[in-house]
């Protein structure tokens, strides 16, 4: 155990307890500042974040604006996203909310607000057990200025990249965690998706050892 603790960290003011995600957020802004302040720098970088969870084989947007009811209170409930094939290959989440961040602190505030919507539950093993797989996405977009032979310059999009940081939901024997009812269904979905993830990794390992292997990773058997 300790997956969520490793990704998000413990007490934020204790340096050795800072998690993987806050460390990456700080590093990205440090590197961005270093690159942009180089003499003759020709690129600037925009940072955006997305945060989704895979819960009972649905993908939920954790950063979506909550619709308000007639009294202006936010409507409870999940905001489902559709997984579609991206034009250039890979997958895309249709209408996913991405938020622009101007500091590592802003990135962490979006994680906090997303965590408030994430599914957790008390089990015998963990008082705040993750019942969904959470995927924190960092999107970097370069804007590049190219100087032409005649001395004029053109500014346009450069390279874009996306980093997915995943906090998997716990796999446990349902007998040990003492789950029942709705929580039993959650555990079954979690275990099934982790089994598919394991089979994808196995198939990729086999393909890398033997490119002629006919086994294909079962990517489409789980939203994860």
Write out the two tokens for 132: 């969904």
Nearest distance, CB of residue 180 and ligand ATP, angstroms? 16
Bridge partners, residue 140, by sequence: 47, 161
Told to check if 115 binds Mg ion by CB under 5 A, we report no
Q: Which does 199 bind (CB under 5 to 8 A by kind): ligand ATP, Mg ion, none?
A: none
* Strands 129-130 and 80-81, bridge-based pairing: unpaired
Residue 2 binds ligand ATP, judged by CB under 6 A: yes
CB-nearer residue toward Mg ion: 4 or 193:
4
Interface with ligand ATP in residues 166-205 (CB under 6 A): 169-170
Q: Which residues pair with 137 in a beta bridge?
A: 50, 164
Residue nearest to ligand ATP (CB): 170
List the interface residues with ligand ATP, window 28-87 (CB under 6 A).
none
- Asked whether position 130 contacts Mg ion by CB under 5 A, the answer is yes
Strand boundaries in the chain, DSSP class E: 43-55, 58-61, 80-81, 83-85, 91-93, 99-101, 120-121, 129-130, 133-147, 153-167
Which of 3, 99, 109, 206 is the binder for ligand ATP (CB under 6 A)? 3
* Secondary structure (3-state) at 137: strand
Q: Which residues bind ligand ATP (CB under 6 A)?
A: 1-5, 10, 126, 128-130, 169-170
């Amino acid at each position: 155990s300790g997956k969520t603790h490793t990704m998000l960290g413990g007490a934020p003011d204790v340096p050795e307890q800072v998690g993987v995600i806050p460390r990456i957020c700080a590093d990205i802004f440090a590197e961005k500042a270093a690159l942009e302040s180089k003499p003759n720098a020709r690129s600037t970088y925009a940072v955006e974040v997305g945060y989704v969870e895979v819960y009972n084989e649905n993908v939920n947007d954790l950063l979506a604006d909550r619709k308000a009811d007639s009294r202006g209170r936010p409507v409870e409930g999940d905001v489902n996203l559709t997984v579609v094939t991206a034009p250039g290959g890979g997958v895309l989440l249709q209408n996913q909310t991405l938020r622009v961040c101007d500091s590592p602190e802003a990135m962490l505030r979006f994680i906090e607000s997303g965590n408030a919507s994430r599914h957790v539950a008390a089990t015998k093993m963990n008082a705040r057990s993750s019942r969904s797989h959470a995927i924190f996405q960092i999107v970097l977009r370069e804007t590049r200025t190219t100087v032409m032979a005649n001395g004029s310059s053109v500014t346009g999009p450069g390279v874009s990249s996306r980093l997915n940081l995943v906090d998997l939901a716990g796999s446990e024997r349902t007998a040990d965690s003492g789950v029942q009812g709705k929580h039993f269904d959650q555990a079954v979905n979690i275990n099934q998706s982790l089994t598919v993830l394991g089979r994808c990794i196995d198939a990729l390992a086999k393909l890398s050892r033997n490119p002629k292997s006919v086994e294909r990773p079962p990517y489409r058997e789980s939203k994860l």
